[in-house]
Amino acid sequence: MKISPWPATLLLIAGAAYFLPQQTPGALGRFAAPPEAQTQVAPLADPLPQATRALFGQSRPATVQIDQLSPSRSGGLEGGLGTGFLISGDGEVMTAYHVVDGAQLIRVKTLSGQVYRARVTAFDNAADVALLKIDVRRPLPFLKLAASSPRIGEGVLAIGNSGGDFLQARIGRLLRLGARAGQADFPQNTLEMSAPLAPGDSGGPILNAQGEVMGVVSYVRVNDEGKTITSYAVPVTRTGPLVQALEAGQKRDVPAVGLVFDGQHDGATSPSGGVVSAVVPGGPAAAAGVRGAAYDAKNQLTALGDTITAVDGIRTRSSNDVIFELRRRQVGERVKLTLSNGGKSREVDLGLVAKGSINYNQ
């Protein structure tokens, strides 16, 4: 689980580590946890307020459950669960990108029980939104995207699949616009809400009183007991640049170098910086000679990996700083990393590539 600069913890709701560079294994599970391990979910409001119940009934047929199979670090496949919603009658589905990132098989299940195989047609990794396409024989119900930006204080309705529930309702209020995650590898400028969301709700719609989608569920903030404090969604409007880019079929990945960071020692070395746990074979960092941690025959840590103390001369005191600096750049650019190891400092020059081109499951 990633620890944010906030007093509580930020947790990707589908539990997918879709960022670059990735954290150490176990810091944040790559796919959705089983229901018994998920973040606690508040009971459904039963009965829902009459107006909300009507809105839920109208919108629910256009939302879907998303199941996916992706490669695991052990070499096999493991599954994940998320939510999505139709934005056109001919089978366009919008969801959170981390729900489908790296998936070998994506299945979409509708309220009527129909199951479709889906393919990713467009995505924006940094924004955590993706478009899928399913082949349908007849028009399906769909949701309209909001025409304008939301207002603080208005009620919100979420529909999702957390806690073992199938396409159920969660309600709350919009608390803040333009919320910053406090971590470089989470989507920024999101909608902050009081709706009690959890793993399995990722990618689901956030609806206003008119039944329009104003956000795509992305992550939550939880307390020490694992209960949701606040939820966050990526804002979408029908004429916004994000939606227009997705509709045009653009695939926007984040820049990557192929590093896994050591969360336990992050920022705790002298000098402080982002401590490298592992270097992905075949990636730019490996080619540049960046070193990961060393282990003995019993898998006991014998030496820390390189500590990244600067990116292009800009001081980095943690892995979050390193990720922030890399995210400011574009795929194809070159960067210079300043590394510290064993009291010695050195610099390496390497190019940034698309995160999807690196196999982190080796």
Q: What are phi and psi of 62, to 5 degrees?
A: -95, 0
Quick one: which H or E segment has residue 53? helix 50-59
| Residue 229 forms part of a structural domain | yes
Last residue of a domain, one of 204, 223, 248: 248
The distance of Cα 153 from the centroid of its chain, to the nearest Å, equals 25
Does the pLDDT at position 24 exceed 60? no
Does the pLDDT at position 3 exceed 70? no
Query: What proportion of the chain, given as a percentage, has pLDDT over 70?
Result: 87
Does the pLDDT at position 298 exceed 60? yes
CA-wise closest residue to 81 among 62, 109, 60: 109
Could you list the residue range(s) of the whole structural domain that residue 234 is in? Answer: 9-248
Query: Do 186 and 104 reside in the same domain of the chain?
Result: yes
**How much is the pTM?**
0.86
Residues 6 or more apart in contact with residue 27 via CB below 8 angstroms? 1, 2, 17, 263
Q: Which residues are registered as beta bridge partners of 232? A: 192, 219
Last residue of a domain, one of 198, 221, 248: 248
pLDDT given for residue 41 in this prediction: 43
SS3 326: helix
Query: Do 238 and 322 reside in the same domain of the chain?
Result: no
Query: For all residues of the chain together, what is the average pLDDT?
Result: 87
**DSSP secondary structure letters along 98-124:** HHHTT-SEEEEE-TTS-EEEEEEEEEE
Last residue of a domain, one of 221, 248, 275: 248
8 A C-beta contact, residue 293 and residue 262:
yes
pLDDT given for residue 46 in this prediction: 53
Q: Report the CATH number that the domain containing residue 28 is assigned in CATH.
A: 2.40.10.120
Q: Report the CATH number that the domain containing residue 346 is assigned in CATH.
A: 2.30.42.10
8 A C-beta contact, residue 263 and residue 183:
no
pLDDT tens per residue, range 158-173:
999 998 899 999 999 9
Taking CA atoms, 49 is separated from 4, 159, 190, 192, in Å, by 35, 15, 26, 22
Indicate the number of domains in the chain.
2
Quick one: which H or E segment has residue 320? helix 319-327
| Residue 217 forms part of a structural domain | yes
Centre a 10 Å sphere on the Cβ of residue 209 and count the other Cβ atoms it contains. 12
pLDDT band at residue 273 under the 50/70/90 scheme:
very high
| Residue 270 forms part of a structural domain | yes
| Residue 294 forms part of a structural domain | yes
| Residue 181 forms part of a structural domain | yes
